[in-house]
Amino acid sequence: MQTKPENDTDLRLKVNRETARLPWTELLKHFAAGNVVWIADSLDLVDVAVRISHDDKANIGQWMNAGLLAKVSDEQAAKWLETNAELWAVVVSPFILVQQEKAVPASVH
């Protein structure tokens, strides 16, 4: 019996351990190959990775239709290169999922 994505704690822990901050420059060759996917900061990177691993077409489709999940655009790539951006990244073969660091509310500082 297959585990539902929301209950797959083993995969969730594995993905969490494999998530890292990387400079955009290290991802350029993967971007050029069309394998880098942007995740909106309103979504949880680990949750999205787990759902992609489980081929959760319903949620993935909703996120794509809402503009919350898409292949990295040339404009995004240029901006990240210009600003020397560091992104959270995790591999879900054949893709690398990336997400900008979430903004911290001023009251938290």
State pLDDT tens for residues 36-57: 999 999 999 999 999 999 899 9
Strand runs (DSSP E) across 24-101, as ranges? Answer: 36-39, 69-71, 86-92, 95-100
Look up the pTM and report it: 0.87
Q: Give 61-106 pLDDT, tens digit per residue.
A: 999 999 999 999 999 999 999 999 999 999 999 999 999 987 655 5
Under 8 Å between Cβ of 88 and 21: yes
Structural element, H or E, at residue 75: helix 74-82
Q: What are the residues whose beta carbons fall under 8 Å from the beta carbon of 12, sequence distance 6 or more?
A: 46, 47, 50
Q: How far apart are CA 84 and CA 65, in angstroms?
A: 29
